[in-house]
A and B are shown apart, each in its own frame.
Chain A
Amino acid sequence: MSEELGYWRSRVFSTDHKVIAKQYLSLGLFWALMGGATAYLIRWQIAHPDTEAPGWGFIAPDFYNMLVTMHGTIMVFFVAMPILLAAFGNFLIPLMIGAKDMAFPRLNMLSFWVFFLASVVLMASFFVPGGAAAAGWTGYPPLSAKMEYTGVGWGMNLWLLALALEFASFLLGGVNFLTTAMNMRAPGLTWFRLPVIVWMQLTAAVIFMLSVGPLIAGAVMLLMDRLIGTTFFLPEGGGEPLLWQHLFWFFGHPEVYVILLPGLGIVVDVISVFSRKPVFAYRPIIYSTIVAGFMSFIVWAHHQFISGIDPRLAMPFSITTIIISVPFAFVIFSIIATLWRASITFSAAMLFALGSLGVFIFGGLTGIFNGSAPVDIYIHDTYFVVAHFHYTLFSVVFFGSFAGLYFWFPKMFGRMMNEALGKIHFWLTFIFFNAVFIPMHLVGLRGMMRRIANPMQYEFLKPLEPLNMFITLSAILLLVSQVVFVINFFMSLARGKAAERNPWQANTLEWTTDSPPPHGNFAAVPSVYRGPYEYSSPESAEDWLPQDRPLTASRTAVR
């Protein structure tokens, strides 16, 4: 079928969800390189202020502000979202529910190309006069609302435009995910037989679609302030700067879970497969994440404790924030309980999943400090916060995605990745990640503020110089370690061992078809007889029991 379509229709303007998933993956990985490059320059400047960064040159203060702005924007919106949601969601949802494709394949293609356009716009913003946006990834006005405050002109407008396009793309994507899952599940595949990753993708899509609207409105308002002279966020015209913060964080906190849930879903699935054990408390995990998803709509002001809002608002938001740890604690405890009496194989995917879990727990615990209003007075806008959210986000975005990639690579590309290189990649990443971000907590507790280009300008920060140098060195090593992955990825793509249908002996539907699956995914519509995690079930002689295998004919049903 794909041969008939020709190169352009099958590879570029394809409506096949698997091709679109790979397009998102490629673009997301490309942006990850850019995100890494910005991280390198940021870290260089902090450790060796006002010296030439090898391979680049001097970093002026205004360029430094662009770097921190774009690093955050890129990593959250152009790496985490396309890889965790779009790439994994697109690839897995139809395959895991036994569907031929998405409900709206052409809309799916449109989503990708809108995202592509957003990428082009964001990239272009680096090259316009005045440079790229420099008001932080949170874009607080009035700094972001007037050119005279930053010297950035079209860079900021393009930044807003890129975000608006990206949101439109993911809204269309969300419509597709939800409709597909509601209408196209294989016979027998009830809601509570869906893999956790599918549930997480759907919950994430709903949270995203319900939370992003106000920020879309906010982006329009900010753009109007910049372009046609309205004063939504400018006090001299009766506007309210804090309004933007409310609109931004009403979306911003749910957005964290939009990224977190798919990553967590990958971790749950991978851990179950390599533990050869059912997910502990499958249903309550799903309920917990839905509860956490809805709670995420009433915690946003924890980003604003000291922003000038009424101080009486702080405690209610502090309480909701700390209480939101309860559903997540439930999920984490359940994942740990899944390991109890398991039979664990340490594949590269499993190492990354366990690493993700371990790192995420650390980030969750440091979140309690930030969520406490009085402690936040001191640590707000310091590197403690930066270290905290890197623990929560790096754990899902990178450890989680790597777990997913090592696990589903055979299904995506029909070849196996090199396990030895994968394990080396894991240990290097794990060690250097912690070497970067554990000391960063200390830097923050010493009081070092975010987004300052030169800590040596402050007496009380001068003693931090050696620690900052150590962090930068570790960060460079962390970045260099990723070369192992790049080599493994392309080598495996070119000449990895051909993958069988089900190399990990996993239960879910994607493993019942060819690797990679043909256009249309399944030769015949699969029928589903059970949940996705029937590992080591007493009903089966082996330690796995695929979802589509009727038990009475289990010996003969191998296709």
Chain B
Amino acid sequence: MNANTATMTDSGIPPGKTGTWWFLASEIPVFGGLIASYIVVRLGSAGWGEASSHLNFTLALINTFLLLTSSMTVVMAHAASQENNYRSVANFLGLTVLLGLGFLGVKAVEYTTEIAHGFTPAAGIFWSFYYGMTGLHGLHVLAGIIVNIVLWIGALKGSLARHGHRVELAGLYWHFVDIVWLFLFPLLYLA
């Protein structure tokens, strides 16, 4: 760190973290807009509950469990990075990636069975929102997995030690993706 930036940083929060928070702040309205649209359109018309009953609640519950567990593993990865234990960071990141892939796998099973039963994205407004919301969320999960894989490789090769804070930043993003799911799950599967 050169003297230049050292004297200049005055918010007390490192740039990486500031940037990540602003990034997340701009992501919230994306899902906020989608969820608000869902609620407004749903309140304006009937028949949504019936369509929703065709979703597989059990699989979604498993998925919720997978994501919540993965939120725990990223926290552990972050804790390990603070102790400079990059073996353990690699393990927890690897576990997070596996849990994320598990989530996407279950989601793929759900999509296939639903489509097999004729509930395609074109099957009505509920299904439009269902595929739109879970699809956009799924892409975010995928992006998180890719980020975690990159960090995981870094942890294995030992190059991550110089950028230890990145584990925390990736974790912030991962938590965000989790929280979004915690909104989508009841809205789509329970209501």
Among the listed stretches B27-35, B59-67, B72-80, B101-109, which one makes contact with chain A, having 4 or more residues with CB under 8 Å of it? B27-35
Q: Do A240 and B22 touch across chains, with their CB atoms under 8 A apart?
A: no
The docked-state distance in angstroms from the alpha carbon of A371 to that of B127 is 38
The answer to whether the Cβ of B118 comes within 8 Å of any Cβ in the partner chain is no
B18 neighbours in A (Cβ, 8 Å): 103, 178-179, 182-183
**On chain A, which size bracket covers the interface?**
35 or more
A216 sits at the interface (CB 8 A): yes
Selected contact of B128 from candidates A171, A215, A231, A247, CB within 8 Å = A231
Contacting residue for B122 out of A98, A228, A240, CB 8 A: A228
Q: How far is the CA of A99 from the CA of B15 in the complex (A)?
A: 13
Tell whether A530 is near chain B: CB-to-CB under 8 Å.
Answer: no
Interface residues of A in 211-249 (CB under 8 A from B): 211-218, 220-221, 224-225, 228-232, 237-240, 243, 246-247
Chain B positions within 8 Å of A, measured between CB atoms, are: 3-5, 7-11, 13-15, 18-19, 22-23, 25-34, 36-37, 40-41, 44-45, 47, 120-122, 124-129, 131-132, 135-136
Query: Which applies to chain B's interface (DSSP): helix, strand, loop or mixed?
Result: helix
The residue that A183 contacts in the complex, of B3, B13, B44, with Cβ under 8 A, is B13
Assess whether B33 is in contact with A525, with CB atoms less than 8 Å apart.
no
Q: Is the beta-carbon distance between A525 and B4 smaller than 8 angstroms?
A: yes
Min CB distance, A155 to chain B, in Å?
A: 22
A104/B22 in contact, CB under 8 A = no
A178 to B26, CA, bound (A): 12
Q: Is the CB of B32 within 8 A of A174?
A: no
Q: In the complex the two chains form, is B10's CB within 8 Å of A213's CB?
A: no
The stretch of A21-29, A118-126, A184-192 that contacts the partner chain: A184-192
Assuming the A-B contacts A104-B15, A183-B8, A230-B122, are A243 and B41 also in contact, with contact meaning beta carbons closer than 8 angstroms in the complex? yes
- Residue A209 interfacial (CB < 8 Å): yes
With A100-B4, A212-B29, A217-B33: A224-B19 Cβ-Cβ less than 8 Å: no
Which residues of B are found within 8 Å of A115, using beta-carbon distances? none
Chain A residues near B7 (CB-CB < 8 A): 187, 525
Contact across chains for A214 and B128 when beta carbons are under 8 A apart: no
Main secondary structure of the interface of A (DSSP, over half): helix
Closest residue of chain A to B51, judged by CB? A238
Q: Is B26's CB under 8 angstroms from A179's CB?
A: no
Tell me which residues across on chain A come within 8 A of B122, comparing CB atoms: 228-231, 237
Residue among A182, A186, A246 with the most chain B CB within 10 A? A182
**Given A104-B15, A179-B15, A212-B26, 5 further pairs, Cβ under 8 A:** A217-B31, A220-B136, A228-B131, A232-B132, A238-B45
Cβ of A175 and Cβ of B29 under 8 Å apart? no
Q: Give CA–CA (A232, B127) in the complex, Å.
A: 9
| Chain A residues near B (Cβ < 8 Å) | 98-100, 103-104, 107, 171, 174-176, 178-179, 182-187, 209-218, 220-221, 224-225, 228-232, 237-240, 243, 246-247, 250, 525
| B-side contacts of A230, CB under 8 Å | 121-122, 127-128, 131-132
Inter-subunit contact A217/B136 (CB<8 Å):
yes
Complex Cα distance, B169 from A107, in Å, reads 15
| Contact (Cβ within 8 A) B11 A213 | no
Q: Which of B5, B19, B31, B128 contacts A239 (CB 8 A)?
A: B128
For B14, the chain A residues whose CB sits under 8 A away are 183
Q: Which of B15, B31, B125, B136 is in CB contact (< 8 Å) with A237? A: B125
Could you say which residues of chain A place their CB within 8 Å of the CB of B28? 213
Q: Which residues of B sit under 8 angstroms from A184, Cβ to Cβ?
A: 5, 8-9, 15
Contacts of B40 in A (CB 8 A): 243
Question: Across the interface, do A217 and B34 meet the contact criterion of CB distance under 8 Å?
Answer: yes
Does B132 lie within 8 Å of A171, measured CB to CB? no
Q: Give the docked Cα–Cα distance between A216 and B14 (Å).
A: 29
Docked-complex contact B121 and A228, CB < 8 angstroms: yes
- Judging by beta carbons under 8 Å apart, are A229 and B120 in contact? yes
Given contacts A182-B11, A184-B8, A240-B44, contact A232 B129 (CB under 8 A): yes
7 pairs, CB–CB < 8 Å, chain A vs chain B: A103-B18, A178-B22, A183-B10, A186-B8, A218-B37, A230-B131, A232-B125
With A185-B10, A187-B7, A228-B121 as known contacts, state yes or no: A209 contacts B15, CB within 8 Å. Answer: no
* B26 near A213: Cβ-Cβ < 8 Å: yes
Q: A217 contacts which chain B residues (CB < 8 A)? A: 30-31, 33-34, 37, 136
Residues of B within 8 A of A231 (CB): 122, 124-125, 128
Is the beta-carbon distance between A174 and B128 smaller than 8 angstroms? no
Rounded to whole angstroms, the CA-CA distance of A427 and B44 in the bound complex is 54
Q: Please give the distance in Å from A322's CB to the nearest CB on chain B.
A: 26
A187 touches B22 (CB 8 A): no
Bound-state CA distance A107–B44 (Å) is 42
